[in-house]
Amino acid sequence: MRSQRVAAIENYMDAGAPSWSSVGAQSITMIPAPLPMQPNPYIQKSWKNRPYGLANQLFVACVHDGRRAAFRLRWHSASKTLAQGEDFPDGVAIALPVRGDPPLILMGTPDEPIHILLWQAGLPEPRSLLATGIGSSRSGPSVGASVHAHWADGRWALVVTRDLSSGVDIAPLEAGGATRVGFALWNGANKERAGIKAVSGDWTTLTLDR
């Protein structure tokens, strides 16, 4: 996946902005997160014969202007489920390695963590999380993240932005550099949350134009 350099990220903040028409999107195959890897036996048992993680395709495009990066994410979602009370919201996560070669499917390790930007429908901004293994996520560093989301005609389209930066526990994003990226999706209408989700099976290489 390529992050194309553009003149101003402000022209790409809206997922429906005409500027995105000249940026190629990559199709990411999504699969249900493996049930045996769920850390809670009750979750394993209660979801054994229930379908989940059925959003099997995510379209991703990325640009940056030397200061900030913008990820445009689109996927099919028959209904629009927001975070209200005890309801389960729709959601999407962008995962980037902080250092080393962390296993995406295991959500990193204590020595090789993964930085995550988690967006849930109905909330004004993404959450920054640091994961060091399945079920081990905690609050992560600030990367100036923002989101603009829109649902229409059975499809979510949103743009998540963050600073190009590096530092302690920050997944580095730098112009002219390369990293890897992974994704997760939650279908709130199906009561999906935590480890019950669709995931990209492995990392996708992401290169940023100089």
Alpha-carbon distances of 80 from 29, 76, 90, 152, rounded to whole Å: 22, 10, 7, 9
The string of pLDDT tens digits covering residues 183-196 is 999 999 999 999 99
CATH for 133: 2.60.40.1190
Mean local confidence (pLDDT), 60-86: 91
**Would you say residue 87 has pLDDT above 80?**
no
Top pLDDT among 129 and 83 is at: 129
Per-residue confidence (pLDDT) for residue 86, from 0 to 100: 57
Give the domain extent around 145: 2-208
- Which has the minimum average pLDDT: 74-83, 108-117, 119-128, 180-189? 74-83
Q: Per-residue pLDDT tens for 120-139?
A: 998 899 999 999 999 899 99
- Would you state the structure tokens that stand for residue 96, as one six-digit string? 């980037």
| pLDDT at residue number 97 | 98
Number of domains, the chain: 1
Between strands 57-64 and 198-200, the pairing is unpaired
- β-bridge mates for residue 152, sequence order: 155
What pLDDT, on a 0 to 100 scale, did the predictor assign at position 84?
63
- What are the CA-CA distances from residue 178 to residues 2, 23, 69, 201, 207 (Å)? 9, 18, 13, 19, 4
Residue 126, phi then psi, degrees to nearest 5: -70, 155
- List the single range of 26-30, 119-123, 146-150 with lowest mean pLDDT: 119-123
39-48, 69-78, 176-185: which has the minimum mean pLDDT? 39-48
